[in-house]
Amino acid sequence: MLISYRWLERHVDLSGVTPQQLAEDLTLSTCEVEGVEAFAPHLSAVTVGHVVTREQHPDADKLSLCTVDVGAGEPLQIVCGAPNVRAGLKVAVATVGTVLPGDFKIKRSKIRGVESCGMICSIRELELGDEHDGIWELPQELAVGTAVAEALGVADWVFEVDNKSITHRPDLWGHRGIARELAAIYGRELKPLDTSLPAHGDAPGLPVKVSAGACARYVGLAVDGVQNGPSPLWLKLLLLAVGQRPIDLLVDVSNFVMLDLGQPNHLFDRTRLDARGIEVRLARAGETITTLDGEERKLSDADLLICSGDRPVALAGVMGGEDSKVEGDTGQLLLECASFDAVTIRRTSSRLGLRTDSSARFEKSLDPTLPLQAAGHLVRTLQALQPGVTLPSAPVEDGDWSDPAHVLELRGARVRRLLGVDLSDERIATLLTSLDFGVERAGEVLRVRVPSRRATKDVTLEQDLVEEVGRLYRYDNVPERALLAEVAPPPHDARRELVTRLQDRLAGGAAFHEALSYSFVPDALLATLGLAEREYVRLVNPVVDGERCVRRSVVPSLLALLEKNRRLRADVRLFELGKGYLPERSDARGLPKEVHELALVWTRPKPGQDARFDAGLLAQLRGVLDDLVTAVGYPAPSWERPPAELALEPWMHPGRTLVGAMRLPEAQQWSLPIFLCELEPGLHRPLGLVNELAGEVAIARVSLDALLACAPRPSGYVPLPRLPGNKVDVALALPVDVPAGDARAAIEQSGKGLVREVELFDVYQGPGLAEGRKSLAYHVLLQSDQKTVSDEEAHKFFKRLERAVGELGGELRKE
């Protein structure tokens, strides 16, 4: 909302208060002022000029050649195209060098061969209105050579108040409300404003009937004798300052009253209203009204209508109807000032997407005593401009309303306890009184009368009064205090700790980068991944239509990041720790099951022919996971092929997926918290990972919930060996289809308890080996706590291993 400094001055003396100071004080005590700007700064840059002579331009019929006195030096020669320019006028002149709105800089120029040293401005060129039929004719009494703003006394400052900061304050939606705050802040008087209704005739008024609870009060007042036309300059300038376009006197005065007191109002052409009068009722479902903006609106039975007889003439509190609007020179008006229900207006306005200055105010629960005050203010404003304006009849009103003003008890002790400031009851009373609260001492408590303008919603509890005291005292003056209390250490949070350790390990040596991705997954991605048929928590109102599914798992969002990153980097490693939601497992209150997940994706080009046997990404990521799981406090998982009954995700490679099995604390119970796989081969192309971006893609998904349920690695340590071990290398030639796991088992068994470490360091197929054979080479450490492992012992190990390998269909390779 925009607030004008000059407008505020109509209500409170602001002498000595700079606009910047005012903005700061309002911000610190009342509401947030987001900006302070000079109103129409170009009005200070244009000068009052006097057209001394006017002749026809020698070469153009429609142009005039003028000499204009601007109070300095010789009169200026200016070429002007306006039809109304004539000698003797006072005009607004932009001299050479002046910058007008739209960064339009005035230059010395030649127009049809004649030099022109400036521009005589129209109202539109100064952004004061739409009039562009001619130049702006200024009042004759203005002094030549002064700035137009100064000559007219219209220099003004505009404050932008953040609407959110006054959502709860219906009284601040007009200048008088803000002025009342300033009066309290500066300890000054609010200037009196006569809002009483002037004398009226005794003709019968137009009947008013309220037949819906959503209208607490409807006041109809007949007004006669208005000559519609342009508004006076002062009014136009006030409206312009707060961003309202002046239209004509009736619209402008109506807006003026709304922006002054905060009470929206509406003027009908009374000659176009049914003699049966006004009825306020709920719309019938499907009923329509064409609003002032020319749109036909289809209504529901929750919308409130103002009807003439039975014909809708206004969408209550939102916008007037097209066919009863005031047009031309109607002198017979009906002024509507009403109190509509905040919720009803808000629903209608948001359902129709029609937010107006009026609906914004009604939504805040306006003071029901305001309508009559607003009517008085409006009529008095009109009469001051046009003494012929009369009221033929008394106002007619209907509705079931009561004055919301009420009394609250306030304990001084409560104020001191909440604010932490030692304020006396007297001081509290003074602060409240300055804000127009009535205060009476009653023993230990203050009985505080809340005025109606603050009583509709805003101030209803004792604590609300504490706020009034605090903000006027200023929170900034509350001394900072240390928070003392006996505090026990926070409870252990295993998941939070796990998350931290996972993140640290991955971002360290594993060289994964942590990404965060949206909780909403695009439909297109889900379709690509074959996940469209799952159940999702779905947004009713997504930002983008195709992005309404809330993710169940983090993996799809990360897969979507691969292509763009692979374009940038050859090796892409990303992880994310996030939440997924499973609606089919909602709890009794309807909250979907929340799952916590770690997702890892890794892609890079395929390793070359001569790369080590474990250079492939599946082996690499498996190594990362072994390290990760161990580092965060669990035994390394046992990697297995997924059991046949386990459904794989469609993005998992059906032939290259492993599950990491881990023990649960209960004996013999296993859990599968980890999936490790390559990307389903058919998805490389849809995900854009082909041609120059082709490569291996490995994925892992770790359920944190399942991992946390697993048995942790027992804490403890292995004592250091006391006796030296014997390191030997063995190479096994085996049929290609014998799994490496069998070879390892053979080594361990052959050691008879002496095998401490086994490390596979080479896998080979090719020259030197028979067809269909592969060689697996291991470093093996034989060690015992009881004795030094002798060469003889090692020899026995080789003998046993030779037999075991033979059983696998292979043999030991000799060096």
Residue of 57, 90, 471, 552 interacting with other proteins (CB under 8 A)? 471
Q: Contact, 296 vs 319, CB < 8 A? A: no
What mask, x for binding other proteins by CB under 8 A, covers residues 548 to 587? --x-------x--x--xx--xx--xxx----x-x------
Q: Which of residues 651-710 bind other proteins (CB under 8 A)?
A: none
Which tokens hold the place of 433? Answer: 């009184």
List all residues 6 or more positions away from 165 whose beta carbon is below 8 Å from its beta carbon.
31, 32
CB of 602 to other proteins, least distance (A): 11
Q: Tell me how far, at minimum, the Cβ of 540 lies from other proteins, in Å.
A: 4
- Which residues are bridge partners to 602 per DSSP? 573, 698
Beta-bridge mates of residue 339: 217
Q: Are 653 and 681 spatial neighbours (Cβ–Cβ below 8 Å)?
A: yes
Name residues whose C-beta falls within 8 Å of residue 163's C-beta, 6 or more positions apart in sequence: 1, 360
* C-beta of residue 367 within 8 angstroms of C-beta of residue 458: no
The minimum distance between CB 668 and other proteins, in angstroms, equals: 33
What is the x/- site pattern for other proteins, positions 156-185, by CB under 8 A? Answer: --------xxxxxx----------------
Question: Which of residues 512 and 797 has its CB atom nearest to other proteins in the complex?
Answer: 512
Nearer to other proteins, 23 or 334 (CB): 23
User: Considering beta carbons, is residue 78 or 572 the nearer one to other proteins?
Assistant: 572
248, 274, 464, 748: which one contacts other proteins (CB under 8 A)? 464
Length of the chain: 815
Question: Which CB sits closer to other proteins, 292 or 582?
Answer: 582
Ramachandran category for residue 623: left, alpha or beta (phi over 0 → left; psi -120 to 50 → alpha): alpha
What is the sign, positive or negative, of the torsion defined by CA atoms of 209, 212, 215, 216?
positive
- Our CB check for other proteins shows the closer of 159 and 797 to be 159
Query: Smallest distance from the beta carbon of 405 to other proteins, in angstroms?
Result: 20
Window 587 to 606, contacts with other proteins (CB under 8 A): 589-592, 594
Nearest to other proteins of 29, 703 (CB atom):
29
Q: Are 600 and 618 in contact (CB under 8 A)?
A: no
If one asks whether residue 423 binds other proteins (CB under 8 A), the answer comes out as no
Tokens of 584: 């089919």
Out of 270, 281, 364, 701, which residue is the one contacting other proteins (CB under 8 A)? 364
The Cα 392–Cα 396 span in angstroms is: 12
Least separation in angstroms between residue 310's CB and other proteins is: 29
- Of the residues 543, 644, 720, 770, which one makes contact with other proteins according to CB under 8 A: 543
Q: Residues 489, 491, 494, 498: is their CA dihedral positive or negative?
A: negative
State yes or no: residue 479 binds other proteins (CB under 8 A).
yes
Query: CB neighbours (10 Å) of residue 659?
Result: 22
Name the minimum Å distance from CB 501 to other proteins: 12
Alpha helices per DSSP H over 482-570: 494-507, 523-528, 555-559, 562-568
Task: Look at the alpha carbons of 501, 503, 509, 510 in this order and tell me if their dihedral is positive or negative.
Answer: positive
413 forms part of the interface with other proteins (CB under 8 A): no
Nearer to other proteins by C-beta: 418 or 760?
Answer: 418
Give the one residue of 421, 631, 711, 758 binding other proteins; rule: CB under 8 A: 421
Among 275, 442, 485, 720, binds other proteins (CB under 8 A): 485
419 binds other proteins (CB under 8 A): yes
Q: Which is nearer to other proteins, 342 or 747 (CB)?
A: 342
Name the 3-class secondary structure at 303. Answer: coil
Out of 328, 491, 665, 724, name the contact with other proteins by CB under 8 A.
491
Q: Among residues 541 and 668, whose Cβ is nearest to other proteins?
A: 541
CA distance 558 to 523: 15
Q: Which stretch binds other proteins (CB under 8 A): 132-140, 267-275, 467-475, 787-795?
A: 467-475
Measured between its terminal Cα atoms, the distance across the chain in Å is 89
Site for other proteins in 18-57 (CB under 8 A): 27-32, 34-35
The span of 42-50, 214-222, 380-388, 485-493 binding other proteins (CB under 8 A) equals 485-493
**Which C-beta is closer to other proteins: that of 479 or that of 608?**
479
Instruction: Determine, following the binding rule CB under 8 A, whether residue 347 of this chain makes contact with other proteins.
Output: yes
Using the rule CB under 8 A, give the single segment among 67-75, 151-159, 496-504, 609-617 that binds other proteins: 496-504
> Considering only CA atoms, which of 232, 117, 111, 166 is closest in space to residue 453?
166
**With CB under 8 A, what is the number of residues at the site for other proteins?**
91
Q: 10 Å Cβ neighbour count for 267?
A: 23
d(CA 266, CA 334): 8
Q: Which stretch binds other proteins (CB under 8 A): 7-15, 195-203, 434-442, 495-503?
A: 495-503
Give least dist CB 520 to other proteins, A: 8
Burial class (CB in 10 A: 0-12, 13-18, 19+), 636: middle
Minimum distance between the CB of residue 147 and other proteins, rounded to whole angstroms?
A: 25
How far apart are CB 578 and other proteins at their closest, in Å? Answer: 8
Q: How far is CA 734 from the centre of its chain?
A: 65
Looking at beta carbons only, is 132 or 495 nearer to other proteins? 495
In the range 61-90, which residues lie near other proteins by CB under 8 A? none
Burial of 517 (0-12, 13-18, 19+ CB in 10 A): middle
What does 431-459 look like in DSSP terms, one character per residue? HHHHTT-EEEEETTEEEEEEPHHHHTTTS
Among 206, 375, 379, 466, binds other proteins (CB under 8 A): 466
Smallest separation (angstroms) from other proteins to the CB of 212: 17
Q: How far is the CB of 174 from other proteins (least distance, A)?
A: 17
Contact flag: residue 463 with other proteins (CB under 8 A): yes
- The residue among 806, 793, 729, 738 whose CA lies nearest residue 762 is 729
Q: How far is the CB of 659 from other proteins (least distance, A)?
A: 25
Site string for other proteins, 497-536 (x = CB under 8 A): ---x--xx-xxxxxxxxxxxxxxx----------------
Of 434, 282, 262, 403, which is closest to residue 344 (Cα–Cα)? 282
Q: What one-character-per-residue DSSP string does 756-792 give? A: EEEEEEEEE-STTS-TTEEEEEEEEEE--SSS---HH
CB of 552 to other proteins, least distance (A): 11
Could you tell me the smallest distance in angstroms from the CB atom of residue 299 to other proteins? 18
Tokens 């209608």 found at: 348
Q: How many helices (H) and strands (E) does the chain have?
A: 21, 41
Closest by Cα among 360, 377, 369, 362 to 397: 369
Query: CA separation (Å) from 191 to 183, 234, 805?
Result: 9, 19, 106
- Applying CB under 8 A, among 174, 205, 376, 470 the residue interacting with other proteins is 470
d(CA 430, CA 449): 13
Query: Residue 741 gets which letter from DSSP?
Result: H
Nearer CB in complex with other proteins: 483/718: 483
For other proteins, the closer CB: 417 or 752: 417
With binding defined as CB under 8 A, does residue 147 bind other proteins?
no
Q: Indicate which single residue of 476, 545, 791, 815 sits in contact with other proteins (rule: CB under 8 A).
A: 476
Work out how close the CB of 306 gets to other proteins at its nearest, in angstroms, rounded to a whole number: 22
